[in-house]
Amino acid sequence: MTSAQKTAVENFRRLHDQGCFVLPNPWDVGTAIYLQHLGFKALATTSAGFAFSRGRPDGGVPRDEMLMHIGEVVAATPLPVNADFLNGFADDPEEVGDNVTRCIATGVAGLSVEDSTGKTDQPLYDKDLALTRLRAARAAIDVSQSEVLLTGRCEAYLVDHPEPLPTALSRLVAYAEAGADCLYAPGMTDPAEIAEVVRAVAPKPVNVLVAGFNSHLSLAELADLGVRRISVGSGLAQAAWGTFIRAAREIAHEGRFESLAGAARGDELNDLFSKPQK
């Protein structure tokens, strides 16, 4: 473990101790540098955002390519970086542990492990298996002595589980007891349900995903609910894609270029990226 990673881990853990902070999700080196430039205190990778940049669906990037991407983002900034590590790139708990060890080696300050299988017939791992997988991730972090922050994720809302709240509550409490440092059920929209999750796993911190489906929620409102961390997942990447698609369609179908008027200025980006990084 390098001194830079040790500092990043310490800073990342400190951010979770009190208050509420935004953990934005860059999808490449340039967006990571820009988010640092804006003053954010930590970053998180986005599996979907990176996959889209590679012309692949979310979950379609192989493990080693994802590890390389995570390492590039870590190297681009001194800020703590949390890795969106999907399901650990394995079903087997031992393999999850091995892959978490590889992820720690990229220099991350935190990582998340999902309980989603990626299979339509059984979208969530059996709870006992999900717990064993999370314990394997916890053990890998403990063996590394890195204190990398582990986020336990329940994907019940994202896979349209018929009872998402009871499932998320049951699993997140169990994940907290199994060693997760932070708890996360992406897809929640109801403030009352968010507050219930916060109470259930207290005093451990809760991450809430804010995206298009719940963008009415504000930082102040979520902080009042007791949320400690807010991420945007692939939201920034999809916003960029939205602008690109609208401009490209205007050119292709209408022969007009008005959408380019709102583009970022090249001289500003050149100036930012010409400065020494880190």
Q: What domains sit in the chain, N to C, each tagged with a CATH number?
A: 3-235 (3.20.20.60)
> How many Å apart are CA 229 and CA 139, to the nearest integer?
24
Side chain identity at 158, as an amino acid letter?
L
Task: Identify the CA nearest to 13 among candidates 135, 133, 177, 146.
Answer: 146
53 CB burial (10 A radius; 0-12, 13-18, 19+): middle
> How many Å apart are CA 192 and CA 268, to the nearest integer?
42
Side chain identity at 99, as an amino acid letter?
N
CA angle (22 as vertex; 19, 28 as ends), nearest 5: 150
Q: What is the pLDDT along the chain (278 residues), one digit of tens a residue?
A: 899 999 999 999 999 999 999 999 999 999 999 999 999 999 999 999 999 999 999 999 999 999 999 999 999 999 999 999 999 999 999 999 999 999 999 999 999 999 999 998 999 999 999 999 999 999 999 999 999 999 999 999 999 999 999 999 999 999 999 999 999 999 999 999 999 999 999 999 999 999 999 999 999 999 999 999 999 999 999 999 999 999 999 999 999 999 999 999 999 999 999 988 76
Tell me how crowded residue 255 is: count the other CB atoms within 10 A of its CB.
7
The two tokens of residue 176 are 């907290």
Scan for tokens 């894609």, then name that residue. Answer: 241
